[in-house]
Amino acid sequence: MRRASTLASVNVLSRSLATVHGGAAATSASLSHGLLQVSLYGTSSTTGSHVRRRWFDSFSGGPAGKLAIGVAGTLASVAVASSLTQEVYAKEPPPAELVPKDVVLYQYEACPFCNKVKAFLDYHDIPYKIVEVNPLSKKEIKWSDYKKVPILMVDGEQLVDSSAIIDKLNDKIVPERVAPPSSNDDEEKKWRQWVDNHLVHMLSPNIYRNTSEALESFDYITSNGNFSYTEKFTVKYAGAAAMYFVSKKLKKKYNITDERASLYEAAETWVNALNGRDFLGGSKPNMADLAVFGVLRPIRYLRSGKDMVEHTRIGEWYSRMEHAVGESARIKA
């Protein structure tokens, strides 16, 4: 069992850019249309299927040292409680016979829906390979009738749509549950839908709020995305400029008057949903926790994410999730 690390890798949010021909930028109308699709993240996610869950607990115990006789009982209780608090963040992979043998994720590094899938794979220690898709040519997924990301190949089976991918993968690694559905399942489903239908729409207006933040975002995108040398310059500056204006349209579309205030409100809404629990799933994250974490992870160390943590109560939960999700299960080439 691999212990969770304390830091998550820095990601940024974006999707595909406008078509480029011969290294030159497309027309502004075409670029704006493509970037509007980027800002909406192209992929829709649904959580209609019944969610089945089993969480794995792993605890180590024993007092840390000899206890004074007069306070032995009290200190022993404290030691046990402390041990449980620390070990709640330890994770355990599914039974070996249920772990897929060959998992390949076709993605954009900065895509929030791709990061949802990666959060699930990382948390369950399911090894996977990454194929970074060029968002301009999409040549890496020419073989697929589905032209969006994420696409997850699991032992030769193609899975698409982030929430559907997670549901199907969860069914594969978690044995059938005998107990009937509980109110916790309804709560989990509700908040997974909230992520796809509300939270994700708060992101683009924030990361493209002004020209400097737009350039910050595209600087990462061009540094980590699958672009040719000639594409990088065009994408960074033309993309940042276009998305700055597109973000203004998104504000109107989603009735956002103040970008940061809307992001802060969403963060506080999530913290309120926890209702004092470490995770929505209780002592361990459930799929709603992983969905929120996955969507927010790309912006965490951007200016918008730093502001969110500074001005809301979400920071402690996010830190717990970094510990719980832990190191990436990605297989490095």
> Known catalytic residues?
108, 111, 113-114
**Residues whose CB falls within 8 Å of the CB of residue 53, separated by 6 or more in sequence, listed in order:** 170, 174, 177, 185, 188, 281, 286, 287
Which residue reads 């949010």 in tokens? 13
Beta pairing partners, 282: 279
Per-residue burial over 271-285, b if 16 or more Cβ lie within 10 Å, else e, is: beebeeebbbbeebb
Q: What angle do CA 7, 289, 300 make, to 5 degrees?
A: 40
Per the CB < 8 A criterion, the answer to whether 156 and 102 are in contact is yes
Per the CB < 8 A criterion, the answer to whether 209 and 259 are in contact is yes
Residue 163 tokens read as 């929430």
CA pair distance 258, 226, nearest whole angstrom: 33
Cis before 205 (ω within 30):
no
- Per this entry, what is the length of the chain? 333
**282 to each of 3, 158, 184, 277, how far by Cα in Å?**
19, 32, 10, 6
Helix (H, G, I), strand (E, B) or coil at 218: helix
CA pair distance 114, 320, nearest whole angstrom: 21
